[in-house]
Structure 1
Amino acid sequence: MRYRYSMWDGTQEVPALQAEDILDNLTDDLMNFGDLQHALRNLLQRGMRNPMGDRMQGLRDLLQQLRQQRRQQLDRFDLSSIFDDLKRQLEEILDMEQNTLDRRLEEAGGQPQGEQSPQGQQSPQGSAQQQPGQQSPQGQQGQQQPGQQGDQSEGSEGGQQGGQQQGASQQPGEFADMLRNIANKKKQFLSELPEDVPGQVKELQNYEFMDPEAQARFNELLESLKKAMMDTFFKDMYNQIANMSPEDMQRMKDMVRDLNQMLQDKMAGKEPNFDQFMQQYGDLFGDNPPQSLDELIQQMQHQMGQMQSLLDSLPGEMRQQLQDLLGDKLGDSELQQALNELGQNLEYLYPMRDLRNQYPFRGDEEIDLQSAMNLMDQMQSIDELERQLERTQYGGEIDDIDAEKLEDLLGPEARETLDQLKQFLEILEEAGYIRKKGNQWELTPRGTRKIGQRALIEIYNQLKADSFGKHEIRDTGSGGERTDTTKKYEFGDPFLLDIQKTIMNSMYREGPGTPIHLKPDDFEVERTELLTQTSTVIMLDLSWSMALRGSFQAAKKVALALNNLISSQYQRDSLYIIGFSAYARELKAEELPYVRWDESVLGTNMHHALMIAQKLLAKHTQGTRQIIMISDGEPTAHLEKGRSYFAYPPSPITIRETLKEVKRCTQKGITINTFMLDRNYYLKEFVNQVARINKGRVFYTTPDKLGEYILVDYVASKKKKLSGVG
């Protein structure tokens, strides 16, 4: 078979995630902490290795990317440059207007003439009186009156025709004087503008520009401020109210008034009629209107949070300037008052503490007002997504993470990572390893067996080639694996005939030749290992020192592995598990993954554990009965009148009472094999006494070798080779 190799280009097929791989990646945490929810959270946090050996990202990686993006934005922009941009726009507008005024003055011939007719004096004076505050309402919104603009445009030509359009009574010289007077008044007005941007914008709202392009640019600036003001409450609402007729504007004010009434009803405990509200005003909310009052409130809070975060992130003086700048730009005091009331109602109902943040921008890149509002939207989205990821890390539902927002902020790879993490739980559930019980996940019996099986495989994979040779096998019998030796057939033996040796026995008896005559004594059968029935109790130390020294996880894995070995290969055997610390208790096999060390109590009560072990083994009168005790310390507690008494260093009473139970086990034919995970003086002295009394074996080992010792010793004790001739 030939193989072709090529560079990875993203088109190659990646093996799908397997439930066994996912289960393997959470098993260590489950063994260590005994909490499946904790193990699942850790798995989602850190990710795992995929079948190709590559690391799959987890929630922790997504959080780091999100926080890095926030830092990049903070390091990039200078938020105070909002006013630099507005100031630059105003300077350009004013420069255009000043240039036009200078040109008109030059065209009109410089300074006004000294002699003017009374009629000529009234006209410029009247025009001057219209600067800047006594214009028509249209002029107050930054628009020129058509008649005036036409006069000024014609006046810019400086010709006789312009004077004729003012009336037959005006002479060309009189019109030039009037034009010069108007231009000089405007120049004086512009020279007296406040220095701050909000003050300039406020004054220029009542000013008639002589330059049409400057007027258009200023109107655009006002519209951008209006949009920012409307965006404070309603997303994309400005597109609905731009260029509204008076009737449409009145409808907008009615909508805000009715919305305020709904909020007041909600504060009073009433149920607002949201459906009726949307039937009347739904078209104002664009193509994707809110489906409930709560959703509308959430949208408005989000919009208000953007503006408030922008204000909070500005220096104090600039914050006030921006508030002044946006304060009255809607051009309708009634609507402005209704919106102010709306903001107060929203703040009363749902304070925006979590929606407003002060962002410490420290970059040098300039940004305009609308881009700053969009930036606040992005920063708020980062904050909200960060909260979702953090909640999921500490017990929240992964489905609560906004996948679309994650993709918008971090790209499609982050969305793919989230989808893979969601698959972890789905794959485990579909494989039958976990199931939902209420709001919690739990292992199924199949999941528990699989963990035990994987623990067994892990232990056997760690065995060295010579490990098996360290355990003697003395007896052979029926029911086990075949050996390399044979024996004369006896009644009751498995008829595993060795043909070659059987024929040779006949030839030895009769000599070579054919036909061959077989007799019962010629039959030779293969020996098999003798399988004994065994009843075992594992005594598992749950004291805090087991976790402190890193032994607890290994001990749990061994118990799970031995349970899997017995249930799958030695089904006639029995296994019981006892956990002991200050007190002892029987543990069911399905409880093993969830068992934790007892961190709230002190004591290693072997005395109580041995008492329970004898009761459990009393159910079995045939075969081998044994106790496998796994501990890292000597007994420091014993039962007295049903209560646990603790002492360290160990009390002589505790040692005496524990050894009494060892003697009772010995009298009942129960072997105690002790696996010690420490070698301190008290421990060695105690286990030596146990060995002298019980004649059981003592193994001093380490957590990484514990499984090898226990499992190999268990299997070896099941298979004993018979010596001598059959």
Structure 2
Amino acid sequence: MPIYRYSEWDGTQDFNLDADELLKALSDDILAHGDISQALRQLLRRGFMRPDGTRFMGLQELMQRIRQARQQRLDQYNLGSVLDDIRKKLEQVVETERQGIERRLAEAREGAPQGADDPLVKMLEKVAQRKLEFLDKLPPDLAGQIKALNDYEFMDPEAQRLFQELMQMLQGQVMDSFFQNLYQQIQGLTPEDLARLRQMVQELNRMLEQRMRGQEPDFDRFMRQFGDMFGPNPPQSLDELLEQMRQRMAMMRSLLDSLSPQQRQALHELLESVLKDEGLRQELAALAANLEYLMPTDDLRNRYPFRGDEPLSLQEAMRLMEELQALDRLEQQLRAAEQGRGLDDVDAEKLRELLGEEAYRMMDALRQMARLLEEAGYIRSRGNRWELTPRAMRKIGQKALYDIFNQIKKDRFGKHETAYRGPGNERAEETKQYEFGDPFHLHLERTLMNSLTREGPKVPVKLSPNDFEVFQTRHTSQT
């Protein structure tokens, strides 16, 4: 029974492969199917056991780790708590304003002359009463409260600051649902920011409409005008920008899809309420429709079944959605590689970010397999396929013979090794059937032909001891 040894990654594990251990791991599949390309794909899928007893992960185990990482997040967090976090922030705003009003009244009354009806105090009391009544009558839903407080004149500066921070955070999430890191670039949606943002979205809609009519938009001109809004790593093409936007929209829609119907409606209405600029709101709605027409998000959207207890803010929930969607994309990339599309499309840096250094090093080693075998002279490229070299055939034949003789019954004289270590005789071109004790100079082609003659042309090729044919040797002497 094989023993598997697992240990936590500590930076000391050796992922350096050598061609001999790779060829040994491939040999059984090569003998069974006769196809080195298929054997390489199987090794990539399954991984293999190394001579020191450690396990080298394949694509299937990497995908299993991705599924475990996703499940760990789903079991940890309570997505519905995003509304609770916003509700608490609004309650803090209202309570701070109430306390500020009461404090202003108390300070005014203390400063008024004793026994006199100060008209300023009377006026302040009337204003305070109206504001307290307004706060008492705030709508029960979050979107309604946001809309009401947007038009409210705060008496307390701290309450006003808290509300502005909340609004900026919510506006940022609306922007981030379309454009990655855009909100950080415009620093808070001032009136000037809003005007320029509306102009940028309007121009982007114009380019998408051109694309839908079969025309080629001038993306370079767009970036010269608005490129500074996309941060230090701006998109290099319209297609790249559209793909980024598609992923951002899918994140927000996955977040909404993962909530209950009541929570989904509440969050949707809340996010719609934070943009006071009607023109920008209309342009963003048109942008969402245009993008969905050109690049649908259905294949990226997912409903995640959260079942944990740990609360999340809306910002944390969006970051979590980004991680979950990145895990989904990684799993799709690995599955495509498993199906034979190669490893070049696997995002190794994202693998390192989400699964750690060990997974990254494993992926790097998997990518080096074919190169190592080719550099060692074991395989060579023929078009889109790999083929074994004679050197590799001899190695595989030697292993097959060792495996066969390792299983046969030892003779009565003692424990003899099945691999004969004979004198350095000169090899002749004639061949003979292998007999125990012969130098193992395998003629692989005749060995395989003997099996095919006996079994017929089919795979897997089944070798018996009588099939093995070796080159004869000539003794040499010194004078």
Does TM-score exceed 0.5, indicating one fold? yes
Post-superposition shift, 1:230?
A: 0.3
Indicate which of 587, 596, 618 corresponds to 2:459.
596
Indicate which of 419, 430, 443 corresponds to 1:567.
443
Higher Cα Rg, which structure: 1
Q: 2:30 touches 2:36 (CA, 8 Å); kept in 1?
A: yes
| Greater relative contact order (Cα < 8 A, sep 6+) | 2
- 2:366 is matched with which residue? 421
Q: What SS class does the counterpart of residue 318 from structure 1 fall into? A: helix
Post-superposition shift, 1:108?
A: 5.4
Q: What amino acid sits opposite 1:596 in the alignment?
A: V
- 1:513 is matched with which residue? none
Post-superposition shift, 1:360?
A: 0.6
Post-superposition shift, 1:235?
A: 0.8
- 1:547 is matched with which residue? none
Shift in CA distance, 15/228, structure 1 to aligned 2, threshold 3 Å = closer
Q: 2:379 touches 2:387 (CA, 8 Å); kept in 1?
A: yes
Post-superposition shift, 1:366?
A: 0.7
TM-score by length of 1: 0.57
- 2:133 is matched with which residue? 188
Q: 1:234 touches 1:300 (CA, 8 Å); kept in 2?
A: yes
1:602-641 pair list within 5 angstroms: none
Indicate which of 258, 261, 269 corresponds to 2:203.
258
Q: Quick one: percent identity of the two aligned structures?
A: 46
Which whole-Å deviations, capped at 9, do the CAs of 1:494-531 have from their partners, x for residues lacking one? xxxxxxxxxxxxxxxxxxxxxxxxxxxxxxxxxx9xx9
Q: What SS class does the counterpart of residue 311 from structure 2 fall into? A: coil
1:567-586 pair list within 5 angstroms: 567=443, 576-577=449-450, 579=452
Q: 1:82 touches 1:366 (CA, 8 Å); kept in 2?
A: yes
Q: 1:108 touches 1:180 (CA, 8 Å); kept in 2?
A: no
1:156-305 pair list within 5 angstroms: 158-159=111-112, 173-243=118-188, 246-305=191-250
Post-superposition shift, 1:709?
A: 5.2
Post-superposition shift, 1:43?
A: 0.9
- 1:458 is matched with which residue? 403
Q: What amino acid sits opposite 1:211 in the alignment?
A: D
Post-superposition shift, 1:284?
A: 1.2
Quick one: distance in 1 between partners of 2:400 and 2:211?
59
Indicate which of 310, 324, 328 corresponds to 1:383.
328
Structure with greater strand share of residues: 1
Q: 1:257 touches 1:338 (CA, 8 Å); kept in 2?
A: yes
Shift in CA distance, 534/79, structure 1 to aligned 2, threshold 3 Å = closer
- 1:89 is matched with which residue? 89
- 1:101 is matched with which residue? 101
Shift in CA distance, 229/385, structure 1 to aligned 2, threshold 3 Å = same
Shift in CA distance, 15/227, structure 1 to aligned 2, threshold 3 Å = closer
Quick one: distance in 2 between partners of 1:34 and 1:532?
26
- 1:37 is matched with which residue? 37
Which whole-Å deviations, capped at 9, do the CAs of 1:539-581 have from their partners, x for residues lacking one? xxxxxxxxxxxxxxxxxxx9xxx9x84538xx9x898457489
- 2:352 is matched with which residue? 407
The yes-or-no answer on 1:73 pairing with 2:81 is no
Shift in CA distance, 467/453, structure 1 to aligned 2, threshold 3 Å = farther
1:109-148 pair list within 5 angstroms: none
Post-superposition shift, 1:454?
A: 2.5
Q: What SS class does the counterpart of residue 398 from structure 1 fall into? A: coil
Quick one: distance in 2 between partners of 1:248 and 1:104?
34
Post-superposition shift, 1:100?
A: 2.4
Q: What SS class does the counterpart of residue 265 from structure 1 fall into? A: helix
Quick one: distance in 2 between partners of 1:467 and 1:55?
38
Quick one: distance in 1 between partners of 2:35 and 2:429?
37
How many residues align structurally?
450
Q: 2:62 touches 2:359 (CA, 8 Å); kept in 1?
A: yes
- 1:23 is matched with which residue? 23
The yes-or-no answer on 1:317 pairing with 2:262 is yes
Q: What amino acid sits opposite 1:77 in the alignment?
A: Y
Of stretches 181-190 and 327-336 in structure 1, the one that deviates more from structure 2 is 327-336
Q: 1:74 touches 1:362 (CA, 8 Å); kept in 2?
A: yes
Quick one: distance in 2 between partners of 1:15 and 1:193?
62
Quick one: distance in 2 between partners of 1:566 and 1:576?
13
Shift in CA distance, 68/11, structure 1 to aligned 2, threshold 3 Å = closer
Post-superposition shift, 1:274?
A: 1.4
Post-superposition shift, 1:99?
A: 2.1
Post-superposition shift, 1:446?
A: 3.4
Quick one: distance in 2 between partners of 1:12 and 1:235?
37
- 1:364 is matched with which residue? 309
- 1:168 is matched with which residue? none
Q: 1:230 touches 1:238 (CA, 8 Å); kept in 2?
A: yes
> Which ranges of structure 1 fall in alignment gaps of 5 or more residues?
1-7, 110-156, 161-170, 470-480, 483-527, 537-557, 586-594, 598-629, 631-702, 720-726
Q: What SS class does the counterpart of residue 394 from structure 1 fall into? A: helix
The yes-or-no answer on 1:338 pairing with 2:214 is no
Shift in CA distance, 439/308, structure 1 to aligned 2, threshold 3 Å = farther
Quick one: distance in 2 between partners of 1:292 and 1:307?
23
Q: What amino acid sits opposite 1:336 in the alignment?
A: R
Post-superposition shift, 1:204?
A: 1.0
Q: What SS class does the counterpart of residue 400 from structure 1 fall into? A: coil
Quick one: distance in 2 between partners of 1:9 and 1:401?
21
Q: What amino acid sits opposite 1:366 in the alignment?
A: P
Q: What amino acid sits opposite 2:57 in the alignment?
A: Q
Which whole-Å deviations, capped at 9, do the CAs of 1:77-128 have from their partners, x for residues lacking one? 111111111111111221122222333445556xxxxxxxxxxxxxxxxxxx
Quick one: distance in 1 between partners of 2:175 and 2:390?
59
Q: 1:82 touches 1:367 (CA, 8 Å); kept in 2?
A: yes
Indicate which of 246, 268, 271 corresponds to 1:326.
271
Q: 1:535 touches 1:575 (CA, 8 Å); kept in 2?
A: no
Quick one: distance in 2 between partners of 1:367 and 1:11?
32
TM-score by length of 2: 0.84
Shift in CA distance, 351/450, structure 1 to aligned 2, threshold 3 Å = same
Q: What amino acid sits opposite 2:81 in the alignment?
A: S
Post-superposition shift, 1:173?
A: 1.9
Post-superposition shift, 1:14?
A: 5.2
Q: 1:47 touches 1:59 (CA, 8 Å); kept in 2?
A: yes
1:446-525 pair list within 5 angstroms: 446-466=391-411
Q: 2:146 touches 2:273 (CA, 8 Å); kept in 1?
A: no
Structure with greater helix share of residues: 2
Quick one: distance in 1 between partners of 2:243 and 2:31?
43
Post-superposition shift, 1:533?
A: 6.0
Q: What amino acid sits opposite 1:179 in the alignment?
A: L
Q: 1:226 touches 1:330 (CA, 8 Å); kept in 2?
A: yes
Quick one: distance in 2 between partners of 1:532 and 1:256?
79
The yes-or-no answer on 1:435 pairing with 2:298 is no
- 1:658 is matched with which residue? none
Q: What SS class does the counterpart of residue 32 from structure 1 fall into? A: helix
Post-superposition shift, 1:51?
A: 4.1
Quick one: distance in 1 between partners of 2:273 and 2:15?
62
Q: 2:9 touches 2:358 (CA, 8 Å); kept in 1?
A: no
Shift in CA distance, 211/247, structure 1 to aligned 2, threshold 3 Å = closer
Quick one: distance in 2 between partners of 1:395 and 1:62?
16
> Which ranges of structure 2 fall in alignment gaps of 5 or more residues?
1-7, 415-421, 474-479
